[in-house]
Amino acid sequence: MSKILLKLIGVNKFYHMGEVTVEALKDISLEINEHEITVILGPSGSGKSTLLNMIGGMDRPSAGSIFFYDRDLTRLDDQELTLYRRREIGFVFQFYNLIADLTALENVELAANLVKNPLSSRKVLEKVGLAARKNHFPSQLSGGEQQRVAIARALVKNPRLLLCDEPTGALDLATGQKILSLLKKINEELGTTIIIVTHNSAISTMAHNIIRMGSGKILEIIANPHPVPPERIAW
Ligand code: ADP
Ligand code: MG
């Protein structure tokens, strides 16, 4: 039996916009096991990024609990939440968010400096297939290469949970497949638990678990006993 890494109980999130209240998350309860890949699937506006931001400690729910192992994130103060985000979470975004005037290696080293026991920045760049490009700036790299640097930056902290928000959203099919294969390899070789957010149902077939969302709610949670290798997924 694998251990439960993450458990959400009755999570709600409201945004107050003047007179209007947006209910971005409605009564979300779920569990995620260690070492598994989960895809959160849903159309634009269904609350996927909001959910990922709560899990990653970037924002707080309006109600409910989020347990990371036995710690309830909603009971941490701001400083404790910052440490949680820094030590436990790696984040990968659709548009890479690299620092433009730092090289690939420097972008990764910056993240390594945030934690006590980082992996080797050079080795992690090697793992993502970019050893030869370590001294290049983001503007000298393709989209797929920039996303590899972003993945290396997230991984160098050796996080227990890697959160990826539409990681292939800005990439063509072949490049996107390679990024997903890399995420799969990281899951297999390092055991990192991974959550991938996407609106693309083809991508969900690579996951061990699929959480389908609509209008801020969970519609369905599906266990997938036969994940498809990412290189065989097309969209
Ligand atoms: P998704 O990532 O699935 O596209 P989001 O989580 O970004 O969806 O958004 C879910 C809903 O919450 C949308 O209606 C969106 O407009 C709203 N929302 C998200 N973030 C904010 C915010 N900071 N302030 C107000 N409304 C927000
Ligand atoms: Mg989103």
Overall pTM surpassing 0.95 (yes/no): yes
In angstroms, rounded to a whole number, what is the distance separating the alpha carbons of residues 44 and 109? 34
| Ligand 1 contacts CB of residue 94 (under 6 A) | no
> Can you tell me which atom of ligand 1 is nearest the CA of 51?
6
Angle of helix 143-155 relative to helix 104-112, nearest 10 degrees, comes to 20
Task: Look at the chain and report how many structural domains it folds into.
Answer: 1
| Ligand 1 contacts CB of residue 13 (under 6 A) | no
Q: Is residue 147 part of a domain?
A: no
Q: Is residue 15 part of a domain?
A: yes
> Can you tell me which atom of ligand 1 is nearest the CA of 46?
3
In angstroms, rounded to a whole number, what is the distance separating the alpha carbons of residues 214 and 44? 9
User: Could you tell me the distance, in angstroms and rounded to a whole number, from the CA of residue 23 to the centre of ligand 2?
Assistant: 15
- What's CA 136's distance to the chain center, in Å? 25
CATH number for the domain harbouring residue 23: 3.40.50.300
| Ligand 1 contacts CB of residue 206 (under 6 A) | no
Nearest residue by C-alpha to atom 26 in ligand 1: 15
Instruction: DSSP letter for 204, please.
Output: G
| Ligand 1 contacts CB of residue 46 (under 6 A) | yes
In angstroms, rounded to a whole number, what is the distance separating the alpha carbons of residues 27 and 30? 10
Instruction: DSSP letter for 84, please.
Output: H
Q: Which distant-in-sequence residues (6+ apart) come within 8 Å of 78 by Cβ?
A: none
Q: Is residue 63 part of a domain?
A: yes
Q: Is residue 203 part of a domain?
A: yes
| Ligand 1 contacts CB of residue 45 (under 6 A) | yes
Q: What pLDDT was estimated at residue 227?
A: 97
User: Could you tell me the distance, in angstroms and rounded to a whole number, from the CA of residue 111 to the centre of ligand 2?
Assistant: 23
Q: Is residue 62 part of a domain?
A: yes
Q: Which of 100, 180, 106, 109 is nearest to 148 (CA)?
A: 180
Instruction: DSSP letter for 42, please.
Output: -
| Ligand 1 contacts CB of residue 20 (under 6 A) | no
Q: Is residue 77 part of a domain?
A: yes
Q: What pLDDT was estimated at residue 205?
A: 97
Q: What pLDDT was estimated at residue 193?
A: 98
In angstroms, rounded to a whole number, what is the distance separating the alpha carbons of residues 80 and 123? 30
Ligand nearest the Cα of residue 216 is 1
Q: Can you give the residue range of the structural domain that contains 49?
A: 4-96+160-232
Q: What pLDDT was estimated at residue 55?
A: 98
Contact 142, 149 (CB under 8 A): no
Q: Is residue 128 part of a domain?
A: no
Angle of helix 173-190 relative to helix 143-155, nearest 10 degrees, comes to 20
Contact 15, 64 (CB under 8 A): no
Q: What pLDDT was estimated at residue 235?
A: 87
| Spans in the chain with pLDDT lower than 70 | 1
Q: Is residue 142 part of a domain?
A: no
Ligand nearest the Cα of residue 41 is 1
Q: Which two tokens stand for residue 14?
A: 């409201």
| Ligand 1 contacts CB of residue 50 (under 6 A) | yes
Q: What pLDDT was estimated at residue 2?
A: 83
Q: Which two tokens stand for residue 76?
A: 């941490």
In angstroms, rounded to a whole number, what is the distance separating the alpha carbons of residues 155 and 168? 17
> Can you tell me which atom of ligand 1 is nearest the CA of 17?
25
In angstroms, rounded to a whole number, what is the distance separating the alpha carbons of residues 148 and 168? 11
- Residues 115, 118, 124, CA angle at the centre, nearest 5°? 135
In angstroms, rounded to a whole number, what is the distance separating the alpha carbons of residues 204 and 202? 5
Q: What pLDDT was estimated at residue 1?
A: 67
Residue reference for tokens 């609990």: 65
Hey, which residues does 223 pair with through a beta bridge?
209
